[in-house]
Amino acid sequence: MKTVLQNESRTLRRLLWLGWVMAAVVTIVPARAMPPHPELIERLQNAAARQCYFLQHEAELRAQGVNSPTQVDAIRERAGGRSLDENFNVIAILVDFSDQTALTAAGSFDNLLYGTSFGTLRNYYDEITYGNLTLVTLNMPSALGWLRAPQTYAYYVDGQNGFGSYPHNAQRLAEDAVALANPFVNFANYDNDGNGSVEALFIIHSGQGAEWTGSDDDIWSHKWQMSSPQYVDGVYAYVYSMEPEYWSSAGDMTCGVYAHEMGHSVFGLPDLYDYGYDSNGLGKWSLMAGGSWNGTRGGSPAHPDAWSRQEMGVAIPTVVTVNTMGASIPAIETTPTIYRLWTNGATGSQFFLVENRRRVGYDAALPSQGLMIYHVDETQSGNNNQWYPGYTTNGHYLVALEQADGLWHLEQETNSGDAGDPFPGSAVKRTFDASSTPDSRDYNFNDTQVAVRNISNSASTMTADLYVIVTPYLTVNAPDGGETWYTGNSQNITWASAGFSGNVKIELNRGYPGTTWETLFANTANDGIQAWTVSGGVSTQARVRVTSLSVPSVGDTSGGNFTIAAPFINITSPLGGGIWFVGQTRTITWTSAGFTSNVAIHLNRNYPSGAWETLQASTANDGSEVWAVTGPVSSLARIRIRSVNDTSISGLTSGNFAVADPFVTLLVPNGGERWDAGSAQQIVWSSGGFTGNVRIEINRSYPGGTWEELYASAANDDNELWTVIGPPTPLARMRISSVEVPALTDISNANFTITSAPPRLFHDALADFEPGAGTVTAITYSPYAFLTISAVKMFYRETGGTFFDSLELTATGNPDEYAANLGLIPNGSYEYYVQSVDHVGLSTKVPAAAPGSLYSFDVGEVCGTEIGYDDGTAERFNHSNELNGTFFRWAVKFGPLPVPYVLCGLRFAAARTIPDTLHTPVRVYVYAADGFGGLPGTLLHDEITGSIGNRIGGLPAQTTWAQVLLKDDLGGLLVVNDSEFYVGVGNLETGKYEAFGRDTDGASAERSVFYDPCVAQWFSEEDTLASNNAYPGNRMIRISGYALVPPEVTIYRVADAIELRWSDTGAPLYHVYAAATADGLYELVDSTTDTMYSIPDIAGLPAYYFFRIVSATE
């Protein structure tokens, strides 16, 4: 079928070339004004701003024409025959006042109005007229400058936004502005069509616009006419528009307000926003509504809507007279394409317009983009009277946007436009017809036969099927797929149809796509609805078919399968396996469908043989029922729910659940645990049947102790983290109770232990010893009386070995003392550590980092030569006590000795039982003899040893020698570089004493000194006066060591062998190094205790070979 398209004859010239006719009969036309800024509207709606004069009196002012001006451009004529690609002269007059001087340079309006870049009035109208209208002037604002009005700004505004009684209004200001400009302007140049009138006159006043500020004391931008036409230069200046200098600050004016007012003054367009501001008209979608504010302060005003374009003559709608499939609809911003739709293409005052809006050019600030469908009724004067379902039965807009999402946000003032307005939009609507929402019916709810279907996605060119003629059709609406209809229920089969008369036939297929159709209604009225009481077999593949009896080819089938099902009840709580506790309030829940009657709820406590007890005889079928759980308890409970009217509709819990008494059970600690003080431990319990928090307590001496509260009210979440605190105890038990129901309680089944420290362990590192002479001792005990030592062991191995041997230390009978003899272990170097373990498994090692760090000793060798000055027998003992942070110390001077000197260790005499058997660690010192008078001076070494008790237990004599192995701070050789030095000992701990031996009374003691803490000085043992020492004598301290002097090496040849022999320096070990060159890399070739190294065969040696012999201890 050929598509017939009909063009209307409206053109751009329609309003540009209007003439004025002065006649006896005139029409009063209200002023047209700029809509308020959206922020001002929001402030007014939120009562954050007072409504100004213009808004309070807007309807009155518009109805009265504001002081009854005479409009002489009311006669519209369709002019033709003139080209539109010509310049259009526009005059702008800038006016300021003595009480409101201008802040913006006049030259800025040259660009704003006549510039060619984006954001100017000229550029805007060039875009929306597709290059057919060019705005120019013969009098740039910069040339005219700001003209000073003869009256003050307040005179013209008069606290009424410029709409007061003449002459205190904007009309008089316009007249005064024309008079001020007349000497400089030839107004005849602005009569573009020679009809004797000025078409485009802008009056720009200094200051802000009331549509921005909301103040009565600012002029509201508007289009109006003067009180009387002003005759200047042979033409009449009458119609004008008035705009402000700036919005918020000087220089921020935009083109939106000028474009909007020019739409009024030049093109005669009405406002398409709601003057009552209880709806939004066309919102942001049109220049003649809120779209004049699009962009920043109106910097990117919207294009005119399709109807306004039609009225301007810049786009002539294509009248669709026949149904058109796949119509091409390019973007209106670049192509003047609009479609006009009405029944059979008829003309009249009511019709639909279709255009494609894109976010490009000045439309870039639109809320969204897509196909726009407008409902126009030209019998209406504007967009003051909104309509939407449920609001009113009469009244509607002049131009209404059919919002695709069917939410009527513009009419309900929800917003000024959103992504749901265009088609398909965010609602993905691709159909607009008599059955859609919104629909294509007229304002009397009659079918217009208009439809827009198969709407494509938004694009620069969209497509759609356009309908204006109805062909016979029938569409099944329900059931249309996915529904579930229950047997015994009444359901409505609905359909839409048009284009034929007569009744319809309704059929059902229960096994679609099978071919078996059963007749539900053989001949029923074609009124779009038929009630059916659902019956027959159930199905998940059911479809309905409706067919015209008069035109059997017209019919439709459900768009998808629907389900026919039996009514049901499905219990969702309780489920099988759950537990409900007596005293709780629980909710029985279920789902159901297919019936509306009440339900009865029953409980069986011994399913399946038990009796059914009634919980509710009849309650609403609303899916839930509260039950206060009662006893007796049971593990075989089930719930049954039945329809009161039809007991065959029934539901049963999926499995047995339990009705039980409330409980709380403590799980951890429950007996046998050992918790260390300071550690974080989880207290764990299980509970059920009560709400609220729990109380947690501990008893440290169960069953006789008292209960101490740990948590008065802890969340009943089955666990609580506790940082264990002392005091320690082996008799601890925990108790947990409900705070609200204290009788619900539980206690640990057995005692658990709280400890806070491992055993104490003291041990002096072993010195080197001869075979069979090694004894290892230790002092160890638990800090808690209820813990005993279960094992004390020494773990040792050859130095560098992999596995440790162990030797158990046994109690000696002395308090906390353990000892063992190493026996005849082989000569060699060893490393070891000692460990003490209590009976709950807490342990201590020395060294503490063992086995990463170990002690060492040698068997079969001694470290150099022992030096001593005592007679070997201790005849006196002097106590060394700690005093105010200092203590008595004794020292013996050694030397002169060759340096450097390796100090391997020392022995000192100590009493076994003086003053008692409770010994303390001892501090060992090495001082240089550089103090005053050769007394101890610089501290060279400071070391804390183990308790003396490690060396004295089990020996028969009162006197024993305590041995100390000396190492430097890094564990290496302790080397002394002073030829004379002191070695001393002293007590360490407060409140304890050690007694150190001294030999024969009265013997010379010139090498022995002691430190007196009372005067903080060292004294000689012979200085009895100074020290008040009644028992002089040498202190029994001896050292072992050797001088690091280089050996003297002699080379001997014996047959084919070479022997290296060297002098003995006293070192326990010698390292032999060899190299091929004197300065070469020396490699270790032997470590020996001998003073000789032999090379049995020299045949393989180079001509020269170099050796080094180095004294060593390991």
Whether residue 1060 contacts residue 1106, with contact meaning beta carbons closer than 8 Å, is answered with no
Mean pLDDT on 90-102: 98
Mean pLDDT on 983-990: 78
Choose between 328 and 970: higher pLDDT: 328
Nearest by Cα to 771 from 832, 827, 855, 830: 827
Q: Can you give the pLDDT at residue 27?
A: 31
Question: Using one digit for the tens of pLDDT, what is the confidence trace for 567-625?
Answer: 999 999 999 999 999 988 999 999 999 998 999 999 999 999 999 999 999 999 999 99
Instruction: For Cα atoms 718, 721, 725, give the angle at the middle one, nearest 5 degrees.
Output: 135
Show the domains of the chain with their CATH numbers.
29-268 (no CATH), 306-467 (no CATH), 473-565 (2.60.40.10), 568-660 (2.60.40.10), 663-751 (2.60.40), 760-859 (2.60.40.10), 865-1043 (2.60.120), 1049-1112 (2.60.40.10)
Nearest by Cα to 198 from 259, 140, 266: 266
Question: Using one digit for the tens of pLDDT, what is the confidence trace for 299-333?
Answer: 999 999 999 999 999 999 999 999 999 999 999 99
Please state the φ and ψ torsions of residue 112, each to the nearest 5 degrees.
-60, -40
Question: Using one digit for the tens of pLDDT, what is the confidence trace for 844-882?
Answer: 999 988 888 898 887 765 567 788 888 877 777 777 765
Question: Using one digit for the tens of pLDDT, what is the confidence trace for 618-666?
Answer: 999 999 999 999 999 999 999 999 999 999 999 999 999 999 989 999 9
Residue 666 vs residues 484, 584, 603, 693, 1043: alpha-carbon distances, Å: 51, 22, 32, 15, 70
Mean pLDDT on 240-260: 95
Q: Is the pLDDT of residue 465 over 90?
A: yes
Whether residue 281 contacts residue 397, with contact meaning beta carbons closer than 8 Å, is answered with yes
| CA atoms lying within 13 Å on the CB side of residue 148 | 4
Nearest by Cα to 171 from 131, 201, 208: 201
Q: What span, in angstroms and rounded, lies between the C-alpha atoms of 755 and 868?
A: 48
Mean pLDDT on 950-976: 61
Structure tokens, 1095: 């090379």
Q: Is the pLDDT of residue 531 over 90?
A: yes
Across 81-85, 234-238, 369-373, 820-824, least confident range:
81-85
Choose between 977 and 421: higher pLDDT: 421
Query: What is the percent of the chain with per-residue pLDDT over 90, rounded to a whole number?
Result: 58
Q: Which helix (H) or strand (E) holds 125?
A: helix 121-128
Q: Can you give the pLDDT at residue 591?
A: 95
For helices 121-128 and 256-265, give the axis angle rounded to 10 degrees: 60
Nearest by Cα to 220 from 37, 63, 45, 64: 37
Question: Using one digit for the tens of pLDDT, what is the confidence trace for 737-791?
Answer: 999 889 899 999 999 998 878 888 988 887 766 555 678 888 999 887 777 899 9
Choose between 298 and 40: higher pLDDT: 298
Whether residue 1057 contacts residue 1038, with contact meaning beta carbons closer than 8 Å, is answered with no
pLDDT band at 21 (very low <50, low <70, confident <90, very high): very low
Q: Can you give the pLDDT at residue 62?
A: 67
Whether residue 62 contacts residue 31, with contact meaning beta carbons closer than 8 Å, is answered with yes
- What pTM value is reported for the model? 0.49
Whether residue 624 contacts residue 600, with contact meaning beta carbons closer than 8 Å, is answered with no
